[in-house]
Structure 1
Amino acid sequence: MNTYLKYLSTGIFFGFVLVKSEVISWFRIQEMFRFDAFHMYGVIGLAIVVAMISISLIRKLKLKDSENKLITIQPKDPSQITRYLAGGTLFGLGWALTGACPGPLFTLAGAGYEIILVPIVGAVIGTWTYGIVRSNIKH
């Protein structure tokens, strides 16, 4: 139970960071897709740098997960570039249409934007559908 509280409090803190940094702002996202402002590109660039450092540390320090299993990150298969491009395009299209990255969907709901429940339901249906067809897809 203690582990779950740690994850919950980390998630709540991250939600506050998303709100305060305006990352959940539809207007900021619109500015990004129109190339009108650097704000979101700076946030995304910083996230990439943090991810690179984090993955390097995970590998170097041989960190373990909450179940004490070694964290392993499989390398991407370069022969699947078409699949990665299609997935990234679909992700970006959904992001542009809803004005919300999937990460802060629940933050938006918590901030009182009830309309965001539509993309949340869509994300749940999409995840559920993937779970059903996953065994039929080449990975």
Structure 2
Amino acid sequence: MSAEHEQHPLFMPIVFVGGLVFGFGLALSNMAQPEVVLSFLLFEDFGLLFVMFGAAIVTGITFFGAIHFLDSAPLTGGRYARRLKTLDKNVVIGGGIFGVGWGLSGICPGAAYASVGIGNLPILYGIAGMFIGAYVQGYWRSSTPDAEPAAAKAD
């Protein structure tokens, strides 16, 4: 990291507080309960749509404001820029696996951690599966002969 892009000393504490607020919001909205998420996936309860739309609106306004009114990110000094990624087979396959895992466990990765916080200890099996899957994917990609060019093109 260059001297002009050093992280602000409050960067990690603010990320931690942001994670706590996010987790609290998931717990408060009942989105940390797999039963609620599964009800959404079965088209029985659409409360998750309000949570997602609310988050998307806040995020959209924040990004719009940051891009138009700030020269750089306040805590990292980095520039705001779009990173364009190509839609390739890895994105499609990975998204499919992610969706199947979400459907089987009834919870996405962020909400899984919040779910542990409200006492749902069986979700630890799902979290272990996420870590194992990420490790296997990383090992597979690093051992694939064409892994380096694909990774270089993506960034």
Category of TM-score, reference length = shorter chain? 0.7 to 0.9
Question: Hey, what does 1:122 align to over in structure 2?
Answer: 129
Matching residue's letter, 1:64: A
Task: Classify the secondary structure of the residue corresponding to 1:103.
Answer: helix
Question: Hey, what does 1:67 align to over in structure 2?
Answer: 76
Aligned 8 A contact 1:18 1:24 in 2: yes
Question: Hey, what does 2:20 align to over in structure 1?
Answer: 12
21-30 or 42-51, which deviates more: 42-51
Structure 1: segments with no counterpart, 5+ residues: none
Question: Hey, what does 2:50 align to over in structure 1?
Answer: 42
Q: Could you tell me how far apart the structure 1 residues matched to 2:85 and 2:130 are?
A: 24
Let me know the Cα RMSD of the aligned residues. 2.4
Aligned 8 A contact 2:10 2:75 in 1: no
Matching residue's letter, 2:18: T
TM-score by length of 2: 0.73
Q: Identity percentage over the alignment?
A: 26
Task: Give the 3 Å change call, closer, same or farther, for CA 95–112 of structure 1 in structure 2.
Answer: same
Matching residue's letter, 2:125: V
* Deviations, residues 74-101 of structure 1 (Å, cap 9, x unaligned): 1243xx2654443332222111100111
Task: Classify the secondary structure of the residue corresponding to 2:122.
Answer: helix
Structure 2: segments with no counterpart, 5+ residues: 1-8
* Deviations, residues 2-55 of structure 1 (Å, cap 9, x unaligned): 432222222222211111111112221111111112201222222233333333
Q: Per chain length, whose mean CA-contact separation is higher, i.e. which structure has more relative contact order (CA < 8 Å, sep 6+)?
A: 2
Aligned 8 A contact 1:65 1:71 in 2: no
TM-score by length of 1: 0.80
1:131 equivalent to 2:138? Answer yes
State how many pairs are aligned. Answer: 137
Aligned 8 A contact 2:71 2:79 in 1: yes
